[in-house]
């Protein structure tokens, strides 16, 4: 049996031991949903960068620049952070340099903290991620991207569902209050996640930016069968 911890905010990372643990970074709306979609759509890899300058430098190496701040596409970038911008062959065989308000920073933080493995978690590839973790048993940390170090509902909901799925598979257990709280949110959400999340801050924020279709898409469960993780400092399909 392995242990699961849930960090409801990246600000909690310094207070947890990370070495030798799998870290599942989750930013449902929308960074990890977009990353998983891009890899599933044939992107060569996604490199998470901290700012626009890093993304601009990588354009010279053939990268597409992608990203948002406060949900809006960054000026001068090839694309924003919508999963729909990764479809219809737009990223096939392409390298993406992605920077977002919260999610991409978590990948860099998990690397610096010495994680054993770093995965991109999303509802879209939930089953594939659960199966991978079952087949690669080790203590896990679910790192919720939240919003500017504040807790958010959608990442917490994912963390509760992933935790519950691993416990129900008889491979994991938890004594972590963050994980227990996340599972309580899962219980409160019921079966209609979209209805439950209408009150969430980022759902409201993205609605004002007319990204409603992104929210509907990012809440779909297990429509993508790839596992996405960090290898040689970029996010790729784990075979
Ligand atoms: C984030 O980093 O919090 C999200 O990716 C923001 C967004 O895409 O709207």
Catalogue the E-assigned strands of 158-204: 172-173
**Ligand 1 neighbour 105 (Cβ under 6 A):** no
Q: Which of 153, 32, 144, 157 is nearest to 83 (CA)?
A: 32
The length of the chain, given as a count of residues: 239
Average confidence (pLDDT) over 176-202:
96
Q: Which residues does residue 221 pair with via DSSP β-bridges, in sequence order?
A: none
User: For position 32, what pLDDT does the model report?
Assistant: 98
What are the helix (H) ranges across 41-152? 52-59, 103-112, 126-135
Q: Which CATH class is domain 2-237?
A: alpha beta
Rounded distance between C-alpha atoms, residue 126 and residue 171, angstroms: 16
Q: How far is the CA of 30 from the centre of ligand 1 (A)?
A: 5
User: For position 93, what pLDDT does the model report?
Assistant: 98
Q: Torsion over CA of 129, 94, 84 and 132, rounded to 10 degrees?
A: 0
Most informative mutation of 9, 25, 29 for ligand 1 (most atoms within 8 A of CB): 29
pTM: 0.97
Tokens of 24: 């599942």
Helix (DSSP H) and strand (DSSP E) numbers for the chain? 9, 11
Tokens of 170: 């008889």
Q: How confident is the model at residue 141 (pLDDT cuts 50, 70, 90)?
A: very high
Q: How confident is the model at residue 237 (pLDDT cuts 50, 70, 90)?
A: very high
**DSSP label at 51?**
S
Most informative mutation of 68, 83, 200 for ligand 1 (most atoms within 8 A of CB): 68
Confirm if 157 and 185 have CB atoms less than 8 A apart.
yes
**Ligand 1 neighbour 31 (Cβ under 6 A):** yes
How many other CB atoms are there within 10 angstroms of residue 167's CB atom? 16
N- to C-terminal Cα separation, the chain: 24
Dihedral sign from CA coordinates of 45, 28, 144, 72: positive
Confirm if 4 and 183 have CB atoms less than 8 A apart.
no
How many other CB atoms are there within 10 angstroms of residue 128's CB atom? 20
Q: For atom 7 of ligand 1, which residue has the closest CA?
A: 71
Nearest atom, ligand 1, residue 102 CA = 2
**Ligand 1 neighbour 100 (Cβ under 6 A):** yes
Contacts of 239 (CB under 8 A, 6+ apart): none
Domain residue limits, the chain: 2-237
How many other CB atoms are there within 10 angstroms of residue 202's CB atom? 24
pLDDT in tens, 16-72: 999 999 999 999 999 999 999 999 999 999 999 999 999 999 999 999 999 999 889
User: For position 207, what pLDDT does the model report?
Assistant: 82
Confirm if 145 and 106 have CB atoms less than 8 A apart.
yes
DSSP SS3 for 45:
strand
Most informative mutation of 70, 83, 103 for ligand 1 (most atoms within 8 A of CB): 103
**Ligand 1 neighbour 9 (Cβ under 6 A):** no
């Amino acid at each position: 049996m392995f242990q699961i911890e849930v960090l409801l905010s990246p600000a909690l990372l310094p207070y947890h031991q990370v070495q030798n643990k799998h870290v599942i970074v989750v930013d449902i709306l929308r960074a990890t949903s977009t990353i998983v979609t891009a890899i599933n759509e044939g992107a060569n890899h996604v490199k998470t960068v901290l700012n626009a300058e890093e993304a601009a430098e990588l354009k010279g190496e053939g990268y597409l620049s992608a990203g948002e701040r406060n949900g809006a596409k960054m000026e001068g970038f090839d694309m924003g952070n919508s999963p729909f911008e990764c479809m219809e062959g737009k990223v096939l065989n392409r390298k993406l340099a992605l920077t977002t308000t919260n999610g991409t920073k978590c990948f860099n933080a998990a690397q610096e903290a010495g994680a054993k493995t770093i995965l991109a978690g999303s509802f879209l590839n939930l089953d594939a991620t659960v199966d991978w973790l079952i087949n690669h048993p080790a203590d896990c940390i679910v790192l919720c991207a939240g919003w500017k170090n504040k807790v958010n509902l959608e990442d917490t909901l994912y963390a509760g569902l992933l935790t519950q799925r691993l416990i129900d598979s008889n491979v994991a257990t938890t004594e972590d209050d963050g994980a227990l709280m996340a599972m309580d949110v899962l219980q409160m959400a019921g079966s209609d996640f979209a209805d439950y999340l209408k009150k969430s801050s980022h759902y409201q924020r993205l609605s004002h930016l007319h990204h409603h279709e992104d929210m509907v898409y990012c809440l779909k469960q297990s429509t993508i069968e790839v596992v996405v993780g960090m290898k040689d400092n970029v996010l790729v399909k784990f075979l």
